[in-house]
């Protein structure tokens, strides 16, 4: 039935049908329009060669293409085996390396944005599809998401997509699919460790999952590496590639404005070894103290706002307190704060500021814009934002009435 009023009867039947069709499919049309806009934004960066592409990604592609299947039997580059397998498969196509890398990441930009929209849709009890579309638009057209894939040729949208899927599944009490997604994410990036404290919190506070579920993560990583193992790859390489990544730099930070940006002589190896251990201890201590507070208050994360805020805070804590962080390591945090801000329409400035600070890091690396904002000034803003998020988080859990409900344990 047409939605037009009496005064609209001067329209032709074709016009009426067009208006009815647009109204009926407004969300889908919006989705297509936003996707086209995001792809246009990415088009301007398709020929841009970042330093990482020129120094690392392109040589990896050429070595794998030249070696063929033999390339799977040895480590090429410092990314994990599944990404190396994907490079091999892409090298079989008649495309340039820069197009292959970027198209793969752009596909996952779309998946990432859909997952972000789906997560907000779940948090709003499936009542606001238009809000989900806004989340998709903000995520897919986010300047840092665009720069990461279309300019930097990086693949952070891949592992973060699977992390968001993991959160969606755990929100629905589907533990096994959730941890499978975490395993897939780990197969692409070690930065999955930033979200693991949240799942530990979930395990302790809800008792809806078993400690055995965590074993699914390395098991999935192993399964995803099997194609290379069939060609003679050493199984220990699955672990070694990430161990090597943690030792590939002796810097306390790399173009990221966290606590360590104020340190002097951060390239000193002896100092680095000492402070690296301290940073791990500090992060573990802070997370443990807050977990104890939440246990004492009886928080079980059934409050979806606290559920999401816990994910934001644990990731933010890891980024701020762990050393050797790189500029792109805040990618997951940037997406989570967007989801939180739009899901609850509050503290939007936190999402804006976090993403602007990441933009400063991207501009510094990609375009040599050294004067955008001094790293130490950026660090002050970042630390202040983290302090505010921490204050908000603690205030919410401390002022929340103590729960007397004891959730039943749930086995695998």
- CA triplet 317, 339, 346: central angle to 5 degrees? 90
Least confident segment among 84-88, 138-142, 173-177, 322-326:
322-326
Residue 403 has pLDDT above 80, yes or no: no
Indicate whether 8 belongs to any domain.
Answer: no
Q: Which residue has the higher pLDDT, 247 or 144?
A: 144
What tens digit of pLDDT does each residue of 99-120 get? 999 999 999 999 999 999 999 9
Q: How confident is the model at residue 239 (pLDDT cuts 50, 70, 90)?
A: confident
Looking at the fold, whether 156 and 221 belong to one and the same domain comes out as yes
- The DSSP symbol for 73 reads G
Indicate whether 200 belongs to any domain.
Answer: no
Least confident segment among 163-172, 277-286, 403-412:
403-412
Indicate whether 199 belongs to any domain.
Answer: no
- In Å, how far from its chain's centre is CA 79? 17
Indicate whether 58 belongs to any domain.
Answer: yes
Predicted local confidence at residue 327, as pLDDT:
86
Residue 361 has pLDDT above 70, yes or no: yes
The label of the residue with tokens 């752009």 reads 106
What tens digit of pLDDT does each residue of 371-398 get? 677 888 899 999 999 999 999 999 988 8
Least confident segment among 131-140, 353-362, 371-380:
371-380
Q: Which two tokens stand for residue 166?
A: 């993991």
Pairing assessment for the beta strands 253-254 and 325-326 based on DSSP bridges = parallel
CA distance 128 to 123: 10
The label of the residue with tokens 């730099």 reads 249
Indicate whether 57 belongs to any domain.
Answer: yes
Looking at the fold, whether 243 and 291 belong to one and the same domain comes out as no
Indicate whether 4 belongs to any domain.
Answer: no
What tens digit of pLDDT does each residue of 34-52 get? 999 999 999 999 999 999 9
Q: Domain tally for the chain?
A: 2
Give the residue from 198, 223, 247 where a domain finishes: 247
Looking at the fold, whether 158 and 75 belong to one and the same domain comes out as yes
Looking at the fold, whether 146 and 289 belong to one and the same domain comes out as no
Looking at the fold, whether 379 and 394 belong to one and the same domain comes out as yes
Residue 173 has pLDDT above 50, yes or no: yes
pLDDT > 70 in the chain, percent:
92
Looking at the fold, whether 151 and 93 belong to one and the same domain comes out as yes
Q: How confident is the model at residue 331 (pLDDT cuts 50, 70, 90)?
A: very high
Looking at the fold, whether 286 and 151 belong to one and the same domain comes out as no
Residue 143 has pLDDT above 70, yes or no: yes
Q: How confident is the model at residue 6 (pLDDT cuts 50, 70, 90)?
A: low
* Average pLDDT, integer, range 76-84: 89
Looking at the fold, whether 226 and 281 belong to one and the same domain comes out as no
Indicate whether 218 belongs to any domain.
Answer: yes
Compute φ and ψ for 95, nearest 5 degrees: -130, 160
Q: Which residue has the higher pLDDT, 410 or 361?
A: 361
Q: How confident is the model at residue 351 (pLDDT cuts 50, 70, 90)?
A: very high
Nearest Cα to 338, choosing from 360, 315, 321, 322? 315
175: Cβ contacts below 8 Å, ≥ 6 apart: 169, 208, 209, 210, 213, 410, 412
Find residue 254's DSSP bridge partners. Answer: 326
DSSP of 249-295, one letter per residue? ---SEES--SGGGG-SSTT-HHHHHHHHHHHHHHHHHHHHHHHHHHH
- Yes or no: say if 227 and 61 are a contact pair by the CB < 8 Å rule: no
CA distance 396 to 310: 10
Predicted local confidence at residue 135, as pLDDT:
96
Looking at the fold, whether 264 and 304 belong to one and the same domain comes out as yes
Residue 2 has pLDDT above 70, yes or no: no
Looking at the fold, whether 321 and 341 belong to one and the same domain comes out as yes
What tens digit of pLDDT does each residue of 247-269 get? 766 677 788 888 888 876 556 67
Could you count the other beta carbons within 10 Å of the beta carbon of residue 20? 14
- Yes or no: say if 318 and 283 are a contact pair by the CB < 8 Å rule: yes
CA distance 147 to 395: 35
Across the chain, what does the average pLDDT equal? 89
Compute φ and ψ for 5, nearest 5 degrees: -90, 180
Give the residue from 228, 247, 266 where a domain finishes: 247
Residue 341 has pLDDT above 90, yes or no: yes
Indicate whether 345 belongs to any domain.
Answer: yes
Looking at the fold, whether 254 and 229 belong to one and the same domain comes out as no
- In Å, how far from its chain's centre is CA 186? 12
What tens digit of pLDDT does each residue of 288-304 get? 999 999 999 999 888 88
Nearest Cα to 328, choosing from 144, 192, 151? 144
Q: Which two tokens stand for residue 131?
A: 């809000």
Q: Which two tokens stand for residue 30?
A: 């919006």
* Average pLDDT, integer, range 127-153: 94
Looking at the fold, whether 55 and 105 belong to one and the same domain comes out as yes
Q: Which domain holds residue 161?
A: 23-190+209-247
């Amino acid at each position: 039935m047409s939605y037009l009023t009496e005064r609209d009867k001067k329209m032709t039947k074709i016009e009426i049908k067009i208006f009815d069709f647009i109204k009926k499919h407004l969300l889908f049309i919006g989705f297509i329009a936003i996707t086209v806009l995001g792809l246009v934004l990415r088009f301007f960066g398709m020929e841009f060669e970042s330093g990482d592409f020129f120094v690392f990604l392109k040589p990896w592609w050429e070595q794998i293409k030249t070696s063929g299947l033999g390339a799977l039997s040895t480590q090429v580059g410092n990314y994990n085996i599944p990404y190396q397998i994907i490079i091999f498969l892409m090298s079989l196509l008649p495309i340039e390396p820069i197009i292959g890398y970027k198209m793969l990441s752009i596909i996952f930009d779309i998946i990432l944005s859909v997952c972000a929209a789906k997560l907000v849709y779940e948090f709003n009890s499936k009542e606001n599809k238009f809000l989900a579309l806004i989340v998709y638009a903000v995520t897919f057209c986010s300047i840092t998401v665009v720069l990461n894939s279309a300019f930097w040729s990086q693949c952070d949208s891949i592992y973060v997509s699977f992390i968001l899927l993991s959160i969606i599944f755990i929100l629905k009490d589907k533990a096994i699919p959730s941890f499978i997604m975490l395993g897939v994410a780990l197969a692409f990036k070690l930065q999955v460790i930033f979200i693991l404290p949240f799942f530990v919190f979930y395990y302790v506070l809800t008792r809806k999952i078993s400690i055995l579920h965590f074993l699914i993560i390395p098991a999935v990583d192993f399964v995803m590496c099997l194609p290379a193992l069939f060609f003679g790859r050493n199984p220990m390489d699955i672990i070694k590639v990430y161990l090597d990544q943690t030792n590939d730099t002796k810097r306390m930070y790399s173009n990221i404005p966290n606590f360590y940006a104020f340190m002097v002589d951060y390239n000193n190896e002896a100092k680095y070894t000492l402070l690296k251990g301290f940073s791990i201890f500090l992060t573990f201590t802070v997370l443990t103290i807050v977990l104890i507070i939440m246990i004492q208050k009886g928080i079980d994360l059934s409050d979806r706002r606290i559920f999401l805020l816990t994910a934001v805070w644990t990731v933010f804590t890891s980024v701020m307190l762990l050393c050797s962080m790189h500029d792109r390591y805040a990618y997951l945090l940037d997406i989570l704060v967007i989801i939180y801000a739009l899901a609850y329409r509050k503290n939007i400035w936190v999402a804006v500021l976090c993403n602007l600070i990441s933009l400063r890091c991207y501009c510094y690396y990609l375009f040599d814009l050294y004067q955008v904002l001094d790293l130490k000034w950026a660090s002050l803003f970042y630390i202040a934002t983290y302090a505010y998020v921490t204050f908000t988080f603690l205030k919410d859990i401390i002022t929340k009435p103590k729960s007397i409900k004891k959730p039943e344990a749930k086995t695998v």
